[in-house]
Amino acid sequence: MEKLCIICREESDNFSDEHVIPDALGGYYHIYTVCKKCNSDLGSSVDAKLVNHQFAEFQRYLLSLTGKSKKLPNPFSGTHHLSEDTSKKIQLRLDEEGKPVPYTITNVSYEESENEGSGTKVSICIDASDEKKLDGILKKIANKLQVPIEQFEGIDRSVQKIEKPNIKCSLSIDLAEFKIGLLKIAYEFSVDTVEGYFSDRLAIEISKILKNAEYDSVENFVSIGSGFDHEIFDGMRDYLDLESKKHYLVIVGSQARGLVCLVHLHGMFSVGVCLSNSPYPDSLAVIGVNDIEQRSFRKIYPEQLLKEVFAPPELRFQYYFPTEYAAQEFLDMQASDKFGFHSTETGTTPVFDRQGKLLSSDLYSKMKESEHLVTSEALDGGGIVHKFPIQDELFIKILPSGKLVQVIAVREELRQIAKL
């Protein structure tokens, strides 16, 4: 059965496994809504800009992320030189264990003698590992100088060993084109997650940018931060374990500001992508967690976030007592080992009117009615405190006496126990 590809927006029955976060970066988020041709094109013109970025190569090296090639990238590739002798050209190659090893590039220099008839002085600098190649190099030099090879017999050979060479490297850093890879991640995550986003006017525009690899148009959308501003996620550090080997994708909707996706690739990039200026529900929030070590990806919604990050909420009540005697009586009951609150079998707290008649709403329903009046603050030791003023006159039942006490506010404490 044919369906629309989310990149070219044409019907196809030939779809392939698309990594939203590239496989080479430790991505384990798969979708199957990109046709085979677009998948291939994205790999070469979009993902490659991200995967082969200098910062990405360093992180792939540190995390031993080989990707489909099964080959560890060498972020130190290129030609460098010794700081104390710029004529000595050096490469940093990876050994079998993936450790960088200096390699001296063969260099042959010629110097004509100032004394007439004294010939040409030849200096050869090779890496110690290439010593077996020296005879072949000498033959080439002899041919070039048109002298017999025997003339090089007894050549002075010396080995120079530098224990800790100071190697000067030059790096070329892309500051713009890699962002198309971040735009692709945000777009695919949103199409896969937010109902109706595929038909959004700006979603259509983004899919064209990705299909045609329009690098110059990317920053119209990847506009929050430079791509390297990890401070974008500072407000979420209490809940996201940004030091762990995980990538995070965060979608946030807003009636006023539209749809935004924040992308954090561990140790590499952090950016905000403005995906739409159309109104989306303020309640829309989804976190994607890509765990590199566990080789997994999952989406987490607000209710699940609360369950995983916080302990079950603790409720503390603010009471109203008509007299000092009533207040003291309550304190005496509270001091008892048997003190408690009446609750249902499901764990909810029923509420009553002044005459002790059970109300149809439970305590949480009454708290929800005053959400617009809630005040919040940080909880010592990590967590959040919400204070709900109770607008209606309601009572809860004290155990074991069964007496009613009036509640005028509820303090809900959410103590943090983990990070995503």
Which range is least confidently modeled, 84-88, 115-119, 259-263, 292-296? 115-119
Provide the β-strand partners of residue 104: 90
Q: What are phi and psi of 15, to 5 degrees?
A: -110, 155
Helix (H, G, I), strand (E, B) or coil at 395: strand
Residue type, 301: Y
Comparing 91 with 35, the larger pLDDT belongs to 35
Q: Which residue is listed with tokens 């989310």?
A: 6
What is the reported pLDDT for 124?
81
Over range 200-225, report the average pLDDT.
97
Query: What single string gives the DSSP state of each residue in 330-376?
Result: HHHHHTSTT-EE---TTS--EEE-TT-PEEEEEHHHHHHHTGGG-EE
Each residue of 156-207: pLDDT tens digit?
A: 666 677 777 888 888 888 889 999 999 999 999 999 999 999 999 999 999 9
pTM: 0.82
Look at residue 114 and tell me whether its pLDDT is greater than 70. no
Query: What single string gives the DSSP state of each residue in 294-316?
Result: TTEEEEE-HHHHHHHHBPSPEEE
What is the reported pLDDT for 122?
76
Contact 378, 385 (CB under 8 A): yes
Contact 315, 414 (CB under 8 A): no
For all residues of the chain together, what is the average pLDDT? 90
Round to whole Å and give the CA distance between 18 and 20: 6
What is the reported pLDDT for 149?
73
What is the reported pLDDT for 103?
87
- Tell how strand 167-168 and strand 222-227 pair up: unpaired
- Tell how strand 314-320 and strand 167-168 pair up: unpaired
What pLDDT band is residue 42 in, cutting at 50, 70 and 90? very high
What is the reported pLDDT for 119?
63
Round to whole Å and give the CA distance between 412 and 419: 20
What is the reported pLDDT for 49?
95
Look at residue 357 and tell me whether its pLDDT is greater than 70. yes
